[in-house]
Structure formats: structure tokens, C-alpha cells
Structure 1
Amino acid sequence: MIERLSIFAVASLVMVVSACSPRPGAVAGDPFERANRDNHAFNKDLDRKILSPLSKTYADVVPDPVEDSVSNFASNLSLPGKVVNNVLQLDLPSAARNTTRFVLNSTVGVAGLFDPSQKIGFTEKDTDFGETLQGWGVAEGAYLELPVFGPSNLRDGFARFVDMLLLDPAGQILKPPVSKYRTVSNIGAILQKRQIYGAQIDEVLYGSADSYAQARLVYLQSRRFELKDIANDAYIDPYAEFE
């Protein structure tokens, strides 16, 4: 499953970059707007018909503690890849913190179903190869909306498949049935996240006059805030009002 998703990510990125030519009058930073809008319409339809109703069913059927354990399991298995990126960024304190989380949660936390490390102060340092590339001086590039995977940009779209295909030790080591459990837990984590941010997502997708432009703006602002990218103008926390 991971291999298929990785190939799909690469194919999506190549398709958007190679098939699109800049549109006359396109928004600065969005030369692929025509294809992006098509992909946005596809993603919006996917959310409306499948992801949103499925997440509501998941919330109704699965008890909250079980949802949390499923998401914890998925998150724990993503930590080795984050440690690799921490090291590539020369962020050794974060690498040590994420390694400690993985060891504690994999043992005391019963294979990652629970998160005891959070309770004793070892919070996760989330990262990805997109942040690694930014640290190496790679600019974000043009905005992209990928089928299924959603808003991105040239740098982070490329980085996504690198994370999935090359920088995922757990995905390369795990064998069935554990690898299948991981796939299921990843889906569960996505459904839970759709619930948690449901109000914000619905406002962007279904409460906006132009949901594509709004989704693009929210993604760019939040990603730049996440990476402390002061080189760009849109450097604010779009979710501050919800905190």
C-alpha cells in the first residue's frame, strides 16, 4: 500500500508539473492554476462524498479512546522517518527527543497504542523532508494541489514522495500483518483529523465563495508559519483565532 501511494504521489507531481503551462494572467506563484483547480474540484468531491461522511461514521462507531490509540499507533510508526529528517537538518536535540518518544511509546506504550512520553514532557517534533529542503535553501516554488494529497507546492510535493518512498524506515522494515495494521491506522488517523478540524475544513471548502483560492491561502499561510518562512509575505498563523 505504501509503495502504491508513493508511486501515486510521484505520478501526481509529474503530471501537474509536466502537463501544465503557465496560464496568462495567472496568480503570482500559481502558474498551474488551471490544473490545480481541476484537482481541487476532484479533492472537494472526494471529501464531500467519501472522506467527510466516512469520518462522521468512524466517530459514531469507534469509541474516542480507540480512535486515539489508532492515531497514536500511526503517529508512533512515523517517528523514525522524522528522526531521519531531524538528523538531515542537524537538529540533534529533536532527533533525540523523537527517538526517545519512539522507544518509550513502543515499549511502555504497548507498540505505540498509548503515548506515555507525552505525559512526561517528550512532545513530538513534527518535521518532514520539505522542512529539510527548506533548511538547505530550497524555495517553496509554485503552488500545487495534488489529487488525493491536496494542497502543496513544488518543493513539498517532491518532498512528500521522498518521505514516503525513501525516508520511511518503518515502511521499509515492517512486514504483513503489521504493515497492514499500519495502513489501517493511517486511514484512522486521517479520519480522526478530519473530525478534529471539521469546522475549519468545512468553512474553507463549503463556506467560501472560492474554495480553491481560500484553500490555497490557508495552506500557504499555515505552511510558512510552520516553517517560520519569513521570506514570504504571508507569514501568519491562520488558526490562531481557533486556539
Structure 2
Amino acid sequence: MLTKLGLNLRYPFVFLGFFSVVTACTPAPDGVTVFDPYEEQNRQVHEFNKSVFNSFFGSGGSDTEIPPEIADTVVNFADNISMPGMALNGLLQGNFEAALTNAARFVVNTTFGIGGIADLATELGLEEQETDFGETLAIWGVPEGAYLELPILGPSTERAFAGRIVDSLIDPLDEVGFAFQSDYSLAATIAKRIVRGSQLSGTIDSVLSESADSYAQQRLIYLQNRRFELGTTPEEEAVDPYDELFGDP
């Protein structure tokens, strides 16, 4: 009963979020490939994010090392609890094969992978079909909107950011998962970002510290990768060292 009540209470916010997305994600002017009307504010957030990165990982990322066995466990668990949401987005996109694959991954890893800390589904050939509500909006024709840099979360767009919000509201994990998966979902997501930051710290540091304009470089890399993921840019143009850190929903 409480679960159903929680769903009913969330529905108005889902619809409000969706309509806010449609009105907020304005298309870029003709001929503009990088739409960044909030650049001044974005650059301030970028400097904050750089300071946070350096505080956690240090210059070059050599100060922090997470044991591989712990890192794999954290990433596996965080990836597994995202599967119900990805399966739902697959259905919303009309991609039933991806939806079924992600649903099967969740069942296999939750049942036989000790709640998801082991990734047995990949060994069985069930590869993760990564997606999110931002991609769902893109398929539905919602424009990319302006570029954003979010505190801690990093590069995004209006559409991708709105997709994150809606994903959090429609995530069916509470209905299909175990209680401990829901209880630790936020902590696992944060822990995964820390793990990815540790693993990719050297590459990210080279972009943030060695670029003449790290903000512009990061913006270009993110947009190229995101557009490639959505099928709107040629493969040879998409090389993103942030893919693992910022490419996940």
C-alpha cells in the first residue's frame, strides 16, 4: 500500500518535470553547434568542480588508489540497481530488445550475483544496454537545449539534466528490487563516481590541467561523446576520456 501511495504521489512531479523539460530545452540558433548561453555561470561551476577533483585525487591522480576488488564490487552493484530504470527507458523508446536485456541482467545479477555485487550476466552474454531518460527525450524529439556544467555531476545539457530528474522520479527499483538495493542506491551511485574518478584521474587531470582552456575542452569532449551516443555525430569525432565518468545515467 505504501509503495503504491508513493508512486501516486510521484506521478504529478513526473508530469510537471516532463512539461518543464519540453519548455526549457530550447533549440540552438541556426548554425550554432555549441549553445552555451550560461557560459559565465558554467565557468564558475567548472572551477569549483576542478577544486573538488584536485581535493579528492590530487594533481595527476596519483594520491588515491582504490583496490580493484573493491572498485569492481561497487561498480557492479551500482550498475545493477540502474537496470530497472534502463529497462523502462528501453520500453519508452520502443527498443524492446534492449529493455528485455537490461531486465534479464537485473534478474540474473540480483538472483545469482549476490544482489548485484557480481556481474554474472555479462559472462552469459547479456551486455548492458546503456540508456537514460535524456535519450528517451531525444528520441521523442525534445531539443538538446543549452550546455550546462553541474556541481559535482559535471558536464550536461538541459535535456540530459532534465532526464536525470525524471529518471529519479520514475525509477522502478523500489517496486522490483530488494529493500537493501533501494536503501543503498544513492550511496552506491556516489561511490561509483568516486571509483570512476580514481580510475580515470590521470586522463581527466590532463584535460583539466594541461588544456589552455579546460572548460572549453571539456565542453567539446562531452558534447561530441553525448551526440555520438545518440547517433547524431560521426564515430571518428567522438573520443571522450570522460565517457565512463560522465557517460553513465
Fold shared per TM-score above 0.5:
yes
* Aligned equivalent of 1:105: 109
2:75 pairs, out of 48, 71, 93, with 71
Secondary structure in 2 matching 1:59: coil
Cα 1:235–1:144 change in 2 (3 A) is farther
Partner of 1:146: 150
On the 8 A contact 1:224/1:234 being kept in 2, the answer is no
Equivalences for 1:40-51 in 2 at 5 Å?
40-50=46-56
User: In the alignment, residue 194 of structure 2 is paired with which amino acid?
Assistant: L
CA contact 2:109–2:119 (8 Å) conserved in 1: yes
TM-score, normalising length: structure 2: 0.76
1:221 aligns with 2:224: yes
**Kindly tell me: are residues 172 and 216 of structure 1, through their superposed partners in 2, closer, same or farther at Cα, counting changes over 3 Å?**
farther
How far residue 171 of structure 1 moved from its aligned partner, in angstroms, is 5.2
Q: How has the CA–CA distance of structure 1 residues 66 and 137 changed in structure 2, closer, same or farther, with 3 Å as cutoff?
A: same
The 2-side partners of 1:146 and 1:69 are apart by 27
Contact 2:115 2:181 in 1 (8 A): no
1:29 is aligned to 35
Taking structure 1 as the reference length, the TM-score comes to 0.78
RMSD over equivalenced CA pairs, Å: 3.1
Shift of the 57–168 alpha-carbon distance from structure 1 to 2, 3 Å rule, reads farther
Contact 1:79 1:102 in 2 (8 A): yes
Q: Which amino acid aligns with 1:201?
A: I
Q: Decide whether aligned partners of structure 1 residues 226 and 68 sit closer, same or farther in structure 2, where only a CA change above 3 A counts.
A: same
- The question of 1:209 aligning with 2:212 is answered yes
Q: Which residue of structure 1 lines up, in the alignment, with residue 137 of structure 2?
A: 133
Q: CA deviation digits over 1:103-126, x for unaligned, max 9?
A: 000011111010111011100000
Deviation of 1:44 after TM superposition, in Å, equals 1.1
Match of 1:182 among 172, 182, 185: 185
Specify the SS of the correspondent of 1:111.
Answer: helix
The aligned residue for residue 157 of structure 1 is 161
Q: Which runs of 5+ in 1 are unaligned?
A: 1-9, 18-25
Equivalent residues of 1:224, 1:235 under 8 A apart: no
Deviation at residue 153 of structure 1 after TM alignment: 1.0
What secondary structure sits across from 1:144 in the alignment? strand
Q: Measure, in 2, the Cα distance between the counterparts of 1:234 and 1:154.
A: 23
Q: Distance in 2 between matches of 1:225 and 1:98?
A: 21
Q: Does the CA contact (< 8 Å) of 2:73 and 2:118 recur in 1?
A: yes
| SS, match of residue 193 in structure 2 | helix
Q: Is the 8 A contact 1:228 1:235 kept in 2?
A: no
Corresponding residue number in structure 1 for 2:247: none
Distance 1:58-1:197 versus aligned 2 partners, 3 A rule: closer
The residue aligned with 1:80 is: 84
CA distance in 2, matches of 1:216, 1:173: 37
Q: Using the alignment, how far apart are the partners of 1:143 and 1:90 within structure 2?
A: 27
Once the 2 structures are TM-superposed, how far is the Cα of residue 45 of structure 1 from its aligned partner? 1.1
Distance (whole Å) between structure 1 residues aligned to residue 176 and residue 47 of structure 2: 36
Query: Measured at CA, do residues 128 and 139 of structure 1 come closer, stay the same or move farther in structure 2, by a change above 3 Å?
Result: same
1:200 Cα offset (Å)? 2.1
Q: 1:121 aligns with which of 107, 125, 139?
A: 125
Cα drift, residue 95 of structure 1 = 0.4
Counterpart-to-counterpart distance in 1, 2:159 and 2:101: 26
- Please state how far the C-alpha of 1:181 moved relative to its aligned partner: 2.9
1:169 partner letter:
P
Identity %, equivalent residues: 41
